[in-house]
Amino acid sequence: MKKHYLLTIGLGILTSPLAATLLVEESFEQTPVGNDLDTTSTNGIGLSGSWSNSGGDYIMQSGSLGYGSLATSGNSIITDSTTDSIAHNTISASLTGSPEVWFSFTFQTDSLSTNPKYLFALANDRIGSMFGSSINNSGTGFGIDLKSGTAGTYTGGTNGNVFVSGTDSADISVDTPIFIVGKIRWDVDVEGTATDILELYQPSSSDLSTEGAVVSTASGTFTNADLTTVSLGSRQNAGTIFDELRFGTTYADVAPVPEPSAFALLSGFLGLTWIMLRRRR
């Protein structure tokens, strides 16, 4: 009985500090590697089902796209052609139960030349055109131009919609993994108007304990319950990688790192257990 009791305590020590409450997590653990993303069922949480591709394909490739000490698992997805490639899925988890929602993902590109373009969008429909940076069916929502590292919004217009860039930008480099973190604050009072605000962060790979300073912002007015489609887009570039997509209600949810203190505590506990068991013998 004592042995089982001690084991239960040990497992609690190991798991409780590392637990995080996530709304969405996609580490692309689908198999087999080499298949098109849209031919495999998602193993993630908070998504409605399989991803869909529009245009070129995203391929499952072995290994995660890591960043510093960020916790990673599963595989990653990579574009395999110079055709515009858009992957999209519906978020089944509710993003409306908290005054703010955080999200994150890792990204890498092998080209920042004239033609390639890379987009992330949380909107009421999927990315419709990479060339025009638009949402399908004149949709609206938040977006990120990953080529410039700039936050923005998709707003309706006579010719569909327009990606309106926000302020400043993150630092994007070729063949270097980047980690983008976003925070959406719903219904912020801005001069008497309820406004939704997106803030982007690019945490340091040497210190993920904090999100750091805001690198780009954008604002709009949306029905947040409608923003349930997440899209990943790459224009005219084979070799674009996305991975480790997460949504949560805190920064810690979307930037999990192993906690050495938890393992140190568990090691000490196991050592004490071993001594006690030897004494009983």
Quick check: 153 and 143 in contact, CB under 8 A? Answer: yes
Q: What per-residue confidence (pLDDT) applies to 27?
A: 95
Euclidean distance between CA atoms 184 and 120, whole angstroms: 14
**Domain around 254:** 21-280
- Asked whether the bond before 258 is cis by omega within 30 degrees of 0, the reply is no
Radius of gyration of the chain from its Cα atoms, rounded to whole angstroms: 21
Q: Which CATH number fits the domain that encloses residue 260?
A: 2.60.120.200
Q: What per-residue confidence (pLDDT) applies to 278?
A: 53
> Considering the domain boundaries, does residue 12 fall inside one?
no
Which residues fall within 8 angstroms of residue 122, CB to CB, at 6 or more apart? 103, 141, 142, 143, 184, 227, 229, 230
Q: What per-residue confidence (pLDDT) applies to 5?
A: 43
CA 242 vs. chain centroid, Å, equals 9
Q: What per-residue confidence (pLDDT) applies to 2?
A: 42
H helix runs in 136-259, sequence order = 251-254
> Considering the domain boundaries, does residue 61 fall inside one?
yes
> Considering the domain boundaries, does residue 100 fall inside one?
yes
> Considering the domain boundaries, does residue 127 fall inside one?
yes
> Considering the domain boundaries, does residue 206 fall inside one?
yes
Quick check: 87 and 78 in contact, CB under 8 A? Answer: no
Q: What per-residue confidence (pLDDT) applies to 3?
A: 45
Q: What per-residue confidence (pLDDT) applies to 133?
A: 75
> Considering the domain boundaries, does residue 208 fall inside one?
yes
State how many domains the chain has. Answer: 1
> Considering the domain boundaries, does residue 215 fall inside one?
yes
User: Residue-wise pLDDT tens for the chain (281 aa)?
Assistant: 444 444 444 444 444 444 447 899 999 988 789 989 987 777 789 998 889 998 889 999 999 999 999 999 999 999 988 889 999 999 999 999 899 999 999 999 888 766 778 899 999 999 988 877 788 888 899 999 888 888 888 876 544 455 677 777 677 788 999 999 999 999 999 999 999 999 999 999 999 999 999 999 999 999 889 999 999 999 888 889 999 999 999 999 999 998 664 444 445 544 555 455 455 55
Q: What per-residue confidence (pLDDT) applies to 6?
A: 43
- The structure tokens listed for 119 are 């987009």
> Considering the domain boundaries, does residue 3 fall inside one?
no
Q: Can you give the pTM of this predicted structure?
A: 0.83
